[in-house]
Amino acid sequence: MKKRPVKDELTDALRRAALASGRTAYALARDTGTPYAAMWTFLKGKGGLQLTTAGRLARLLGLRLVSAKRKKG
């Protein structure tokens, strides 16, 4: 059974930044303390990351995660 691509704004932004960084999946995994398979799966768009891992990846890439309320409507 094939996994469907994970799509959402945060995931897409982190994936784009990680790919644009020029770092390999191995380097990103090593520097964030994440298993290589999880990072590779994330970069290929076949899986997501846990929030703590997303935070470590964001910091590594010079980004930060912020919480914002959505407007009703």
Claim: this prediction has a pTM higher than 0.95: no
The C-alpha atoms of residue 71 and residue 55 are separated, in whole angstroms, by 24
Structure tokens at 12: 């897409």
| pLDDT score recorded for residue 1 | 56
Residuewise pLDDT in 10s, the chain (73 residues):
555 555 688 899 999 999 999 999 999 999 999 999 999 999 999 999 999 999 999 999 999 888 877 777 6
- Residue 30 placed within a domain: yes
In 3D space, the residue among 21, 33, 31, 26 whose CA is nearest the CA of residue 61 turns out to be 21
CA angle 2, 7, 12 (to 5 degrees): 125
Rounded to 5°, the CA angle 25-23-10 comes to 75
Q: Total domain count for the chain?
A: 1
Domain membership of residue 3 (yes or no) is: no
The answer to the question of residue 65 being in a domain is: no
Structural domain boundaries enclosing 49: 9-58
